[in-house]
Amino acid sequence: MQLYNTLTRRKEPFNPLEKGKVKMYVCGPTVYDFFHIGNARSFINADFVHRYFRYLGLEVKFIMNLTDVDDKIIKKSNEEGAGFSAIAKKYSDAFHEDIRKLKILPATIYPAATAHMADIIAMIEKLVEKGFAYNVEGNVFYDISKFTGYGKLSGKNTEELEAGSRVEVNSEKKNPLDFSLWKKAKEGEPYWESPWGKGRPGWHIECSAMSCKHLGKTFDIHAGGSDLIFPHHENEIAQSEAANGKPFANYWLHFGFLNIDSEKMSKSLGNFFTTRDILQKFQAETLRFFYAQTHYASPLNFTAEALEAADSGRLKIDNLFFRLEELAKDALPDDSLFREEYARFEEAMNDDINTPKALAVVFDAVKDINRHLAESNTATAYLASAKKFIQHTAGDVLAVLGEAKKEAGLESKLIELLIQLRLEARKEKNFALSDKIRDRLKEIGVILEDGKDKTSYKIV
């Protein structure tokens, strides 16, 4: 298996620290609002990775943090007239509800910053003791000049980073790129006691402390959106490696940007969509399918038309699967079948989680299976094996397989009923009606094939 590692800027063989086990950390949301479809893309792409590791039989310890104290949460608290903890709980609960709807596998742990304050303070203390951080009247900053590897993730030196970023201007800092580890409390804001007085942590230190707590000083994979490479992930490396004296994460995966109708998503442009907005109109499986059509690292343009097309494409898999469920029933699969298809699917996923190629393998199989179904006397072992292949790939790994079994079964029965009505029309020499049924079914993607003894159909 090969993964593109942002840290080394090349594909590398994936070798976990411990054979058969994977430790993976993904940056989760700041819980001040319902998460948007750009966040959803990152969470779903991380889920593709998580699911594929499990498909391979690996034991995965998957950590996704929740930032539950932050400037944005405090601002929302003031806007809604509720305590910051009430805001954080409201949107944490909403986050868990939404990722369940998106069929995202639950993380092993969802650590929250406020529950790890002792770990955060201890790491800051260590950085101060080692000379990597300095205190200015209750504000503690990381001194980037003391960490020689600063910029290695983004591949830029400090001059380039300073010129290309929007850094907070603060006269207390030694260097404009120095960043907050601990923020002195302001009136009306939440705070915790610390060696530097009352305050709260900076954003970056939370992830360093929580990943170390739950995965150790060095772990396998750190993942998140491309927008987090700098400064967030760069700063995580600086903090963690300075505090612990060991490499932080061995592999860094970054998920591409999402644009809306070729423009950056923003509330001011009126093109901002939460995941909940989309799930009111489309099934979660359709959103997953749409994201799977593009490699996780590539930018993606989101349009209503593209989502409609994804919905149509995904339903072809659904329709076949539920038809196979009816036909195969209790038949046992033959494990000698579909070996080539499994090999091609795994080859695609082993190539840096290439979900577009993996989907193409599934669709090639769908075409072949439909062709077999159009032939008479298809063996039940083949049908059961076909069903198993789609379940393992489109279901277990990509999770794009719908769950509306009753409706899909009804759809299949309606098609069979129309075929029967057409046969009766032909017997009565009502060829106009017979042709009309055939043509209308063709318009919705159902192709009838008249054999000697029966009429079969395939969905294209």
Q: Which residues, other chains included, contact 274 with Cβ-Cβ below 8 Å and sequence gap of 6+? A: 33, 34, 35, 36, 37
The pLDDT score that the predictor gives to residue 269 is 74
DSSP-derived secondary structure letter, 152:
T
Residue 448's nearest CA partner among 460, 440, 439, 457 is 457
Within 10 Å of residue 146's Cβ, how many Cβ atoms? 17
380: pLDDT strictly greater than 70:
yes
Is the CA virtual torsion 169, 171, 175, 181 positive or negative? negative
254 vs 161, higher pLDDT = 254
**CATH for 8-279?**
3.40.50.620
Domain 313-459 part of CATH 1.20.120.640: yes
Residues 411, 291: Cα–Cα separation, whole Å:
27
Give the lowest-confidence range in 112-121, 129-138, 267-276: 267-276
Query: Are the beta carbons of 174 and 143 closer than 8 angstroms?
Result: yes
> Quick one: what percent of the chain has pLDDT higher than 70?
95
Give the lowest-confidence range in 36-45, 285-294, 367-376: 367-376
Residue 255's nearest CA partner among 223, 287, 285, 284 is 223
Confidence of residue 406 (pLDDT cuts 50, 70, 90): very low
284-292 and 355-374 are packed helices; what angle lies between their axes, rounded to 10 degrees? 110
The pLDDT score that the predictor gives to residue 326 is 87
Q: Where in the chain is the domain with CATH 1.20.120.640?
A: 313-459
Q: Where in the chain is the domain with CATH 3.40.50.620?
A: 8-279
The identity of residue 342, as a single letter, is Y
Residues 352, 1: Cα–Cα separation, whole Å:
7
Q: Which residues, other chains included, contact 144 with Cβ-Cβ below 8 Å and sequence gap of 6+? A: 150, 158, 175, 177, 178, 179, 238
Query: Are the beta carbons of 216 and 246 closer than 8 angstroms?
Result: no
**Arithmetic mean of pLDDT, 212-221:** 99
pLDDT tens digit sequence for 330-350? 899 999 999 999 999 999 999
pTM of the model: 0.87
